[in-house]
């Protein structure tokens, strides 16, 4: 029998795996993990919703979600994961879009002539701890209207004893323990107004400025702590109703809103009351006001002075008081002749 030599067929080479090697696969998973939180927060921002804990808390720091999103894009690039690159790019673009100042009519200037110039100061003194800094700031800056939150007894007593009645003859002070006390000091005559019912005092008045009546309202709703989001939302809703009721009238609302421009409940106050954010008009849209312990530029802006269309802004700046977790906001306004 003739021997025949046959060449064995080469073994089949399996197809190259579709998955990336171990390191690339790990980079892809890191990208996914980094994108989950920014994506959830951005979706709520798009849908104009504040959601439930932890979304309201994270919305306050929306601009800082650029960092994990950018890192996710880097990991997606390392993983050569095209879908992940697209995902991260979209999230980055949306956050960048929302970082812009939110305000209606930012470019609109009041048409009437200027009838008064006034400085407005709002300060959260954290249970009265920052009272010395507040007193020094009032004496140095001489604002025409002062709004004080968390004005405990040590604060209200000091305002009565140290701030001259001749300089600030008109006052609306609600004494209270801990964070519940509030005060409005004014160089302009103040008439009584109902204010807003809340756990922390939110007094309101009507100031007579250059013969024109102006609604002045202090803001200090509850914070969105994890088990208190419903109460936070309810008090911001009361503020929205106030703004809507004052619509069409010269109005100024100032204080610690415990909400940033990225919260739907805060934007509703602006929209329903035709109000504008003076810090955005004054070039300080994203300057953080809380918490001071992390230092600028970290933090978020929750202290605001909202104004109706009769006002224009010359300047807005945030001041350090010391011994409080908030920065004060001082804005220089022009009041124009009414509609």
151: CATH? 3.60.10.10
Looking at residues 142-150, what average pLDDT do you find? 98
Answer yes or no: is pLDDT of 39 > 50. yes
148 and 237 housed in the same domain:
yes
pLDDT in tens, 269-280: 999 999 999 999
Q: What's the domain range around 135?
A: 114-336
Q: Is residue 234 part of a domain?
A: yes
* Section 171-190 average pLDDT: 96
In this structure, the answer to whether residues 165 and 290 fall within a common structural domain is: yes
Rg (CA), the chain: 27
Instruction: Tell me the two tokens of residue 302.
Output: 């929750």
For residue 121, tell me if it sits in a domain.
Answer: yes
The answer to whether the CB of 316 falls within 8 A of the CB of 327 is no
Residue 318 CA to residue 288 CA, distance in Å, equals 8
Both 142 and 263 in a single domain? yes
Count of C-beta atoms within a 10 Å radius of residue 236 = 24
Residues 311 and 213 in one domain: yes
Cα(197)–Cα(203) distance, integer angstroms: 8
Is the domain of 178 the same as that of 291? yes
How much is the pLDDT for 292? 96
**pLDDT score at 102:** 87
- Mean pLDDT across 46-62: 97
| DSSP label at residue 324 | S
Residue-level pLDDT at 42: 98
17 is a domain residue: no
CB 334 within 8 A of CB 314: yes
For residues 304 and 207, membership in a common domain is answered with yes
Based on the fold, state whether residues 77 and 189 are members of the same structural domain: no
- Whether 272 maps to a domain, the answer reads yes
Q: Structurally, how many domains does the chain consist of?
A: 2
Are 227 and 281 in the same domain?
A: yes
pLDDT at 14 over 60: no
């Amino acid at each position: 029998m003739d021997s025949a030599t046959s060449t064995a067929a080469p073994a089949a080479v399996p197809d190259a795996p579709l998955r990336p090697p171990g390191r690339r696969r790990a980079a892809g998973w890191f990208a996914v993990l980094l994108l989950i939180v920014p994506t959830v927060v951005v979706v709520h921002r798009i849908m104009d919703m504040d959601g439930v804990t932890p979304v309201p808390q994270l919305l306050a720091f929306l601009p800082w979600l650029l960092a994990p999103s950018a890192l996710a894009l880097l990991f997606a690039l390392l993983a050569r994961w095209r879908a992940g690159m697209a995902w991260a790019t979209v999230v980055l673009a949306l956050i960048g879009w929302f970082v812009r100042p939110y305000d209606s009519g930012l470019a609109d200037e009041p048409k009437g002539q200027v009838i008064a110039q006034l400085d407005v100061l709002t300060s959260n003194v954290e249970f009265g701890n920052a009272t010395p800094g507040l007193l020094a700031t009032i004496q140095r800056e001489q604002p025409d209207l002062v709004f004080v939150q968390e004005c405990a007894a040590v604060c209200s007593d000091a305002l009565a004893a140290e701030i001259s009645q001749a300089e600030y003859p008109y006052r609306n002070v609600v004494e209270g323990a801990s964070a519940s006390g509030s005060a409005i000091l004014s160089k302009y005559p103040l008439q009584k107004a109902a204010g807003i019912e809340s756990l922390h005092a939110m007094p309101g008045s009507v100031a007579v400025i250059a013969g024109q009546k102006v609604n002045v309202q202090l803001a200090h709703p509850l914070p969105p702590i994890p088990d208190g989001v419903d109460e936070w939302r309810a008090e911001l809703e009361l503020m929205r109703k106030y703004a809507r009721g004052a619509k069409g009238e010269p109005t100024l609302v100032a204080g610690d809103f415990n909400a940033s421009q990225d919260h739907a409940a805060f934007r509703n106050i602006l929209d329903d009351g035709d109000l504008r954010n003076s810090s955005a008009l004054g070039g300080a849209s994203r300057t953080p006001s809380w918490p001071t312990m992390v230092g600028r530029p970290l933090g978020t802006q929750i202290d605001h002075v909202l104004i109706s269309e009769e006002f224009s802004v010359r300047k807005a700046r945030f001041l350090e008081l010391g011994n409080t977790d908030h920065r004060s906001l001082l804005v220089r306004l022009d009041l124009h002749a009414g509609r």
